[in-house]
Amino acid sequence: MAIQLSSTKNAVTNQGVKILVYGLAGAGKTTLCATPPQGCNPIIISAESGLMSLRDYDLPVISVNNIEEVYEAYSFLADSAEGKQYDFVNIDSITEIAEALLSSEKKKSADPRQAYGKLQEEMGDLLRAFRDLPERHVYMAAKMAKEKDELSGMILYQPMMPGAKLGQSIPYMFDEVFALRMEQDPEGVSTRWLQTSADPQYNCKDRSGCLNQFEEPNLGMIVNKITSATQNPKPQGEDN
């Protein structure tokens, strides 16, 4: 087999930016689908019925109701000339897709352990397939799980997926994992932002190293920051 050399500088250009965002219902995860970088051609793979927040936009949508339809959507994007024109792929949400898959597997097996094992294997393969779509930016939304740490008593937040092993493994699949947070100020005005780095409560990360801890909830701005930093890297030896 002939070796094909690439470079770290070209990685984002060749592969695109892959982002996972989790948050509470109503925080605005679906609205993020309408914030692609300028010039990109977005498409939404929707496993939820809640597209009302996008009613003022005219975005193409593939609605999926089961895992077979998700695979059909992937084949459309990966293999067809029409599908390859979409360079900003939104999946809303991976939690809904995983829950539908688990429900289907439980009906096939009398042993719940087999259903959860199949869920972890198949969802892992599916998410990696979408994540690795070449020359596309990919945004995946997830619900937010919260649990209490028994030692500290602190509430911890992370992406929600059925099955403990799957939920724990999901963040490791992405370079960019953000929490979409929504708070109210003393006057009752709501503000929203994306938290890009971890703190004691939120499981987040930014492997690009070029984002602020809190960013405006606009994926186009974030993608542009990351790609600009990659195309214009700092000289070797310069501190971050």
What pLDDT was estimated at residue 240? Answer: 44
**Whole-angstrom distance, CA of residue 202 vs CA of residue 185:** 20
Per-residue DSSP letters for 115-139? HHHHHHHHHHHHHHHHHT-TT-EEE
What pLDDT was estimated at residue 149? Answer: 84
What pLDDT was estimated at residue 12? Answer: 57
What pLDDT was estimated at residue 189? Answer: 82
CA angle at residue 82 from 78 to 86, to 5 degrees?
Answer: 70
Name the helix (H) or strand (E) containing 206. strand 205-206
**Whole-angstrom distance, CA of residue 208 vs CA of residue 81:** 31
Tens of pLDDT, residue by residue, the chain (240 residues): 577 666 666 655 568 999 999 999 889 999 999 999 999 999 999 997 778 889 889 999 999 988 899 999 999 999 999 999 999 999 999 999 999 999 888 888 778 788 888 898 999 999 999 999 999 999 999 999 998 888 888 999 999 999 878 888 899 999 999 999 988 777 878 889 999 999 999 999 999 999 999 999 999 999 999 998 765 555 544 544
> Where do we find the tokens 């030896």?
237
